[in-house]
Chain A
């Protein structure tokens, strides 16, 4: 089951990248997809059948525009800080804790944090994330966690776990 899904995904990627329906190209692509998905099976996600669940796709469709809005807000925030003559920054590295457990969800959480206003993931140790924050608010870890992680955690848990 897992290998079939991985082969299909790799083969689809090949078709999109080469954009050719020439039988030779398609044949080589099929062979390469089988080879890659078999030899590098440990790199692919462990439970690819989760991607077939329509509910996950529904939540992903809600997540994406939300993420995009935050991303544009973060860009305007950076633009303000860069163009301001005094550079109004107050940076620091804070530590937060997430309740997500699967690797995929944590990866996407870290990526989302990096692209949203003022925060960037520096290191991940187990469930703890170290976040570089360009303008630190609040004093303790709970408040940092509430401000940084809460916007994403619920949606990401529905999408990936």
Chain B
């Protein structure tokens, strides 16, 4: 019985993992990819670990695996958003542009006074240093 519940939880977690990675491939810019990837893969992996916990508690009777799976889930839940935050901040400071369809960019306005791409008629001139990662593959 408990094993069935664990399998369902692991299955749903796997589905979220797959959708997150699909979002990583499909979405248009760094920030959207980061959103899809971080949310889905964090919850998906935590669900896989919770399923491992249930396996360890009931089906196989292995307390070490159960406790460490919970611990690992807590670590992932705490570290993954922080890593996403660090990457987003690093990407913005390194000059990764928002997608052309973005509607608002308060951080850019506050950092170097540019308006978002949708409000802009022609590309605004930014400082030269922030153009590092903006050339895309053709």
Interface size class of A (residues with CB under 8 A): 20 to 34
User: Inside 8 A of A72's CB, which chain B residues have their CB?
Assistant: 43
1/0 contact trace for B22-59 toward A, CB 8 Å?
11001111011011101110111000000000000000
Near A by CB (< 8 A), chain B positions 45-104 give 64, 67-68, 71, 77-78, 81-82, 84-85, 88-89, 92, 98-99, 101-104
* Residues of chain A within 8 A of B23, CB atoms compared: 78, 81-82
* Interface membership of B14, Cβ < 8 A: no
Chain A residues in contact with chain B, CB under 8 A? 16-17, 19, 71-72, 74-75, 78-79, 81-83, 87, 89-95, 107, 110-111, 114-115, 118, 120-123, 130, 132, 134, 136
- Count how many pairs of residues, one from A and one from B, have CB atoms less than 8 Å apart in the complex: 124
Task: Check B11 for interface membership: any CB of A closer than 8 A.
Answer: no
Cross-chain contact B88 with A122 (CB below 8 angstroms) = yes
In-complex Cβ contact of A91 among B16, B20, B44, B101 (8 A):
B101
Please determine whether A93 and B81 come into contact, CB atoms closer than 8 angstroms: no
- The B contact surface, by secondary structure, is helix
B125: Cβ under 8 A from any A Cβ: no
Q: Tell me the smallest distance from the CB of A24 to a CB of chain B, in Å.
A: 18
Q: B94-126 toward A: CB 8 Å interface, digit per residue (1/0)?
A: 000011011111111010000010000000000
Tell me whether A132 and B88 are in contact (CB under 8 A): yes
Residues of chain A contacted by B85 (CB below 8 angstroms): 110-111, 114, 120-122
